[in-house]
Structure 1
Amino acid sequence: MPSDTALVSPARSARPASPGDRATPHALALFRIVIGLLFACHGASSLFGVLGATSLPGGAWPGWYAAVIQLVGGTLVLFGLGTRYAALVCSGSMAYAYFSVHQSEALWPLQNGGEPSAIYAWAFLLLAVTGSGSWAVDRLIANARGGRGEGASAPAGARREPSAI
């Protein structure tokens, strides 16, 4: 007798979209906006001495360059412009910050003060993988060109055609 998994064909296993599935792109967009705004504010505070921080000297390695990545990358992610690429750079920046600054102090982020770096690294990696969600400039540009936009998912049951290189 065949197993239960052998009786279910891939075409029949597709389920209709639930309310949670329809909310996912909007929740992802809110996540992207909040993470981008917080990251950009952190960069602005380090570069310009606003929001209660003192500014870093121009060109100081690695802090000043990290602040530029935070401001520019956070702003791009906030608006959903080049989200995947900007998020990947931001994630790498925070992973570098964690391993070069915090990891040598102690093993766990709670002990070494690296929680923000670790959280940002993983949050930006999530955005690099998932894309921008809805409400993104990338999506507006793609819609104007007749495409689907970055981070857009295909309708349930739709097949993606391989792209020609």
Structure 2
Amino acid sequence: MKTLTTPATPAPLRDVALLVARLGLGVVLLTHGLDKLDQGFGTTADGFAAMGIPAPEAAAAYALVAEIGGGALLIAGLLTPVAGLLVVGQMAGAFWFVHRGTEVMAAAGGWELVGVIGFLALVLAATGAGRISLDALIERRTPATA
């Protein structure tokens, strides 16, 4: 029996919710990544160095891959668990090296934004993209193997 604590969400509604979550998160990530790219790789790496992030060039490269690549993959619903984990890794690094020890609110330099992005990326990595995705299309067209 379904109750208020165990909702009976119809599969189509779940798939639409996953699509909206992927699109929203993907657009936020892609926008942030393209902004970093527009500022220039060196400027991004210098900014990371100023924040005390170790290996700032490697961190900047990872951020660009996670934000642009991960964002695009999430929008398409392609390799969603991989894209989600890329983003989780980036947000964990942002929390650890930049926001650890701060308060929650982003307006005060806190970890609110990286937390929400990381938590949502983790949910998408764990649940997958849903049926409205390239992942689902590929799965439907791939013959089953024993």
Stretches of structure 2 lacking an aligned partner (at least 5 in a row): 46-55
**How large is the RMSD of aligned CA atoms in angstroms?**
2.7
**CA–CA distance in 2 between the matches of 1:64 and 1:77?**
19
The aligned amino acid for 1:56 is: F
TM-score by length of 1: 0.67
Is 1:56 the counterpart of 2:10? The answer is no
Which residue of the other structure, out of 74, 77, 80, is the alignment partner of 1:80? 77
Computing the radius of gyration over CA atoms, which structure comes out larger, 1 or 2?
A: 1
Corresponding residue for residue 123 of structure 2: 126
TM-score by length of 2: 0.75
**CA–CA distance in 1 between the matches of 2:28 and 2:35?**
11
**CA–CA distance in 2 between the matches of 1:45 and 1:123?**
21
Alpha-carbon distance, 1:109 to partner = 2.2
Distance 1:140 1:124, change over 3 A: same
Alpha-carbon distance, 1:146 to partner = 4.5
Higher relative contact order (CA 8 A, sep 6+): 2
The aligned amino acid for 2:139 is: A
Q: How many residues align?
A: 129
**CA–CA distance in 1 between the matches of 2:65 and 2:8?**
41
Is 1:46 the counterpart of 2:43? The answer is no
Give per-residue Cα distances to partners, 1:126-148, cap 9 Å, x unaligned: 1011110131111111112246x
- The answer as to whether partners of 2:36 and 2:44 remain within 8 angstroms in 1 is no
Stretches of structure 1 lacking an aligned partner (at least 5 in a row): 1-12, 148-162
Alpha-carbon distance, 1:114 to partner = 2.2
**CA–CA distance in 1 between the matches of 2:100 and 2:82?**
26
**CA–CA distance in 1 between the matches of 2:72 and 2:142?**
23
What is the 5 A alignment of 1:11-50? Answer: 18=8, 20-47=10-37, 49=38
Is 1:112 the counterpart of 2:97? The answer is no
The aligned amino acid for 1:69 is: A
Alpha-carbon distance, 1:37 to partner = 1.6
- The answer as to whether partners of 1:103 and 1:112 remain within 8 angstroms in 2 is no
**CA–CA distance in 2 between the matches of 1:127 and 1:93?**
15
